[in-house]
Structure formats: structure tokens, C-alpha cells
Structure 1
Amino acid sequence: MIGDISRAEHIYVACGHTDMRKSIDGLAACVQQSFHLNPFSNTLFLFCGRRRDRIKALFWEGDGFVLLYKRLEKGSFQWPKSEDDVRNITQQQLRWLMEGLSIDQPKAHKKVNEIQII
């Protein structure tokens, strides 16, 4: 299915802003050269413009890239601002980001991997 990003094993956010004139090849090169990651992996890569009202998502489907583009009519995304950085986020953090929230929610419950029973 075209653009089934729910299959992505990892989600990376390119912090700071990205030149939104870049196409698939430019974004894939950015993933390889700037972040030293493999754009052909089962990973969703997210990029945001300077005004933070547009994002592009790059995803490899095994036989080609899918490029998704979203432009907000009002408001902006709460995008991480640390330049030249890439950050691995969860599906929940992606939902927060797409809903206009920060990916860092201080009051959210943290996932617990192991519990010791006394």
C-alpha cells in the first residue's frame, strides 16, 4: 500500500529546519550524509521547513520511496529546534507532533520495561 507509514520500525525527526525545496533524492542524501543513517531501511524520516507549517516524510517501501507532504493552514508544528541533529521518536510522539503538541510531554506516563516484584 502506498505510504503505509505505520509499518515503520523507527521514526526519525530532523531537528531544526530543512530546505523544503529538496525532493526525494535531496532528502535521502541528507539522511545519509548529515545523519549517517540508511534511507533504505524500514524507517520514517521527518523534515520541517523554517516556518514550521510544513513537513515532509520520507519512507522506503522496498521498491521505491514515498514522499508525504503536509501543510498546515493555521498554526505550526512544535518542532525540535536543535540544528543539525536527528532524533529517534516513538509512534506516540509522532501523534503528539501531528496534533500540534511537543514531542516532549513532561506529564505523560513513561513506559516501564521491567518491574521488580518484591
Structure 2
Amino acid sequence: MMPPDAKAEKVYLYLKPVDFRKSIDGLTAMVELDIKVAVFDPVLFVFLNRHRTRVKILY
């Protein structure tokens, strides 16, 4: 859960379907390898499942 005073500068949508069994570490690795953005920047990373019915957000 994001703190109420958190500000995200950008939002990145990961277009490839993601296996939602991945942990935070797995999603972080995907961000660092594919998107090549520092994980600790004030941005949101949005992931979708294969059917695009669920969303996971990494902040």
C-alpha cells in the first residue's frame, strides 16, 4: 500500500503478460532487465496478467 503522501513522477505499463505468482523480487528483476529503469525512482510499474483481468503495481 502506498503512503498517502507518496508522489509518482511516471507510470510504466509493462505490456507483456506477467505470471502473477512472481514475487516482488521477480517483478523488480523484470523492471531492471526489460525496462531499464531504476526501481527506487518515484515511479509506478503496472503489470497485467495474460487475460488482462488483474493488475499488480510496484512502487
TM-score bucket of the superposed structures, by smaller chain: 0.7 to 0.9
Aligned-pair distance for 1:12? 0.4
1:49 partner letter: N
1:37 partner letter: V
Do structure 1's residue 3 and structure 2's residue 2 form an aligned pair?
A: yes
Distance in structure 1 (CA, Å) of the matches to 2:46 and 2:33: 16
Residue 38 of structure 1 corresponds to 38
Aligned sequence identity (%): 38
Aligned-pair distance for 1:4? 3.6
Do structure 1's residue 15 and structure 2's residue 15 form an aligned pair?
A: yes
Map of 1:71-110 to 2, 5 A cutoff?
none
Q: TM-score, normalised by structure 2?
A: 0.87
1:7 partner letter: K
Local SS of the residue matching 1:34? helix
Which of the pair has the greater relative contact order for Cα pairs under 8 Å at 6+ separation?
Answer: 2
CA deviations on 1:40-83 (whole Å, 9 max, x unpaired) are 11010000000111110000xxxxxxxxxxxxxxxxxxxxxxxx
Residue 113 of structure 1 corresponds to none
2:28 partner letter: A
The structure number with the bigger radius of gyration is 1
2:23 partner letter: S
For structure 1, the residue ranges without an aligned partner over 5 or more in a row are 60-118
Residue 50 of structure 2 corresponds to 50
* Segments of 4+ moved more than 3 angstroms: none
For structure 2, the residue ranges without an aligned partner over 5 or more in a row are none
TM-align CA RMSD: 1.6
Distance in structure 2 (CA, Å) of the matches to 1:40 and 1:34: 15
Aligned residues: 58
